[in-house]
Structure 1
Amino acid sequence: MNVHHLELFYYVAKYEGITSAVRKMPYGIQQPAVSGQLLQLEKSLGVKLFNRRPFSLTTAGDDLYDHVYPFFSRLGDVEERLKGEESKHLRIAASASVLRHHLPELLAEMRNAAPDLRLTLRDVEPSDVQDVLTRQQADLAVSVIHSRLGSGINAGELMRLPLALLLPEDHPANGFNALLDDDEGVITPNTPLVGLPAHEEVSQLFQKETERRGLNWPVAVEVDSLDAVQQFVRCGFGAGITVKIPGVAGPKGLKVIDLDGFPPLVIGVVYQGTLKPIARQFLEAAITRAQELTKKPAGR
């Protein structure tokens, strides 16, 4: 049996006639279409379900209505319950660092305003964000915004993080140029580089700019996180590629070298389609918090 035909029969039986059902159904459909589809239902079953004028259910129609009534009569209640639960459920995808350091306070403020807020936080790499969104495994993601977004993917910028290099605190260099040697007009870096894998946006931004300047400075020590970059720089493995986060003091025991003229890392909220209200609230709160952070002195 066609489920849509059963739904039409339910409304016709409930409102005792096709004309009355068409007027009261929750979606628009023309009377001839209802009549035609109910005739198809009767033909497929080989029985007559109701008399048209005056309206009355046949014995077979009574039997069928008893079976479909419990399901279709409760759909409205189920829809409201599911919508109510989903309206309080926020699913966020982000890197482990963002989840650990930047979201707890913001989400705590949201929960104070809405105590019944339910959260699902998913640790994902930036390269996996679009896949997670298209599979509808998250409402939104806090991530790097790439120059090319997939079809149907939207992004709201939160902040731009300047690139920087990390050096041991006692390293003599105080600027980018001090890390370069000029050997008969050929400029080459004099320090090994610690950085993220080549597919990471931080590495791509750095390498693209160094190549534009005619420098060849490949990563000598590849690690999987910015925290690991700091650790290896402390141990003397070289200069580390990192980003400067507004309102956050530089790591202890390390010197931060500004990379003037290098493109920044753009961080934002990435999502697919239209955000539901609770996700829209998060986006607005995240924008406000980002604006506050950019005005906040480092280390406070």
Structure 2
Amino acid sequence: MDPHLLRTYVTVARLASFSEAARELGYTQSAVSQHIAALEQDLGAPLLTRRPVAPTTAGERLLEHAGPLLLRLDAARADVTRMAAAPTLGVTLAATPTALGPRVLAALPAAGVTLRVLTRDEIPAAVATGGADLGLVDGLAAPSDPLRLPDVAPLMTESAGEEPVCVLLPRSHPLAGRAGLRLGDLADARWLDAPDAGLPLAQLRAVAGGTGFRPALRQEGTDLRTLMALAAAGHGLAVLPRSAATGVPGTVAVPLTAPRVVHRTELVHGRGLRGAAATLAERLLPAPQARG
């Protein structure tokens, strides 16, 4: 398939409009129609209904393949361009909110860094396609176990650190005085669902056996301060890395004692780091003796 035709199809399907797709892509509406017709002829199946504009059953199936295909093409272009280009002075770092712990913040140079706070799913794609030079992703894992990241391109991952996790409770909570908490005992508690700001409830379910942890309130976006304020106000519990949970006004951070999991952060990057990106990567990684 011609990737130009495929990209046009994805845009039309996303916007549900030939004219809006033409405007976004910089084509005429006639050219967009010709692209769709050529792709349908190539595949031997109608991909879109016209009124309203919506994917057919075959079109829905193509969309399942189109995203990863186009992402790998963009990643290949970015990878080759990165190899051929001269090293840049500045560096772009993409990170999740809870990956930006004290050690990471202390490692950032005084100038020359652009920080993009993104979701966990967005970071590997941003690094692969050149939207960021380096990425920091995080999550719950057994000690020394790697995180499971989406396979969007041939990327390198290295452990950037591990730390204990805590349950963030309002000071008035009946369990606030405990020395430690077992995750399984909290399955039926009120939880905050903030997958892009804190540690996702899906990860809690996975490490606790796959049940419970129903959200009492959902927060969208990457604002970690809002998540902390919601926990302090009693709207629900949250699990956070110890460095983030400690010292939040109006709350108590109680260590999670079982199961034995840690907050793990991994550095994501392409091969052959150079210039400012290589320098920052070296600063973000633990000392060699600490990695072992």
Taking structure 2 as the reference length, what is the TM-score of the superposition? 0.54
Q: 2-side partners of 1:240 and 1:257: how far apart?
A: 11
Cα separation, 2, equivalents of 1:207 and 1:276: 40
- TM-superposed CA distance for 1:204, in Å, is 2.6
Contact 1:167–1:256 under 8 Å retained in 2: yes
Is the Cα contact below 8 Å between 1:158 and 1:290 reproduced in 2?
no
Distance 1:242 1:105, change over 3 A: closer
Is 1:169 aligned to residue 167 of structure 2? no
The 5 Å alignment of 1:198-209 reads 202-209=200-207
Q: Distance in 2 between matches of 1:144 and 1:193?
A: 20
Amino acid of the structure 2 residue aligned with 1:147: R
Alpha-carbon separation, structure 1, partners of 2:128 and 2:183:
46
Percentage of matched positions with identical amino acids = 16
Distance 1:264 1:106, change over 3 A: same
Task: Spell out the pairing of 1:37-76 with structure 2 (5 A cutoff).
Answer: none
Q: Structure 1 counterpart of 2:90, which letter? A: H
SS of residue matched to 2:109: helix
Look up the equivalent residue of 1:167 and give its one-letter code. L
Are residue 153 (structure 1) and residue 155 (structure 2) matched? yes
Deviations 1:210-236 (A, max 9, x none): 235xx5221221223432222112112
Cα distance in 2, alignment partners of residues 94 and 177 from structure 1: 29
Q: 1:262 to 1:218 in 2, by over 3 A?
A: farther
Asked if the contact 2:198–2:224 (Cα under 8 Å) also holds between the matched residues in 1, the reply is no
Query: Take 1:226 and 1:290, find their aligned partners in 2: how far apart are those partners?
Result: 31
Distance 1:108 1:277, change over 3 A: closer
Match of 2:225 in 1: 227
Hey, what does 2:94 align to over in structure 1?
A: 93
Q: Are 1:210 and 1:217, in contact at CA under 8 Å, matched by a contact in 2?
A: no
Q: Is the 8 A contact 1:167 1:254 kept in 2?
A: yes
Q: Does the CA-based 8 Å contact 2:156-2:270 persist in structure 1? A: yes
Helix, strand or coil for the counterpart of 1:208? helix
Q: Closer, same or farther in 2 for the Cα pair 1:199/1:166, shift >3 Å? A: closer
C-alpha distance in structure 2 between counterparts of 1:120 and 1:210, whole Å: 37
Match for residue 281 of structure 1?
A: 279
CA displacement, residues 57-96 of structure 1 (integer Å, 9 cap, x when unaligned): xxxxxxxxxxxxxxxxxxxxxxxxx73xx34232222235
2: CA distance, partners of 1:253 / 1:280: 40
Cα displacement (A) at 1:122: 2.6
Structure 2 unpaired stretches of 5+: 1-84, 140-146
Counterpart among 237, 240, 246 of residue 249 in structure 1: 246
Residue in 1 that maps onto 2:118:
124
Is residue 198–residue 227 contact of structure 2 (8 Å, CA) maintained in 1?
Answer: no
Shift of 1:252: 2.5
The answer to whether 1:269 aligns with 2:267 is yes
Q: Whole-Å Cα distance in 1 between the matches of residues 114 and 105 of structure 2? A: 12
Considering only aligned residues, what root-mean-square deviation do their CA atoms show, in Å?
A: 3.6
SS class of match (2:174): coil
Greater alpha carbon shift after TM alignment, 267-276 vs 191-200: 191-200
Aligned partner of 1:218 in structure 2 is 214
The answer to whether the Cα contact below 8 Å between 2:169 and 2:252 also exists between their aligned partners in 1 is: yes
**How many equivalent residue pairs?**
193
Residue 51 of structure 1 aligns with which residue?
Answer: none
Contact 1:95 1:124 in 2 (8 A): yes
Whichever of the two has the greater Rg, that structure is: 1
Q: Distance in 1 between matches of 2:283 and 2:248?
A: 27
Distance in 1 of aligned mates of 2:168 and 2:288:
24
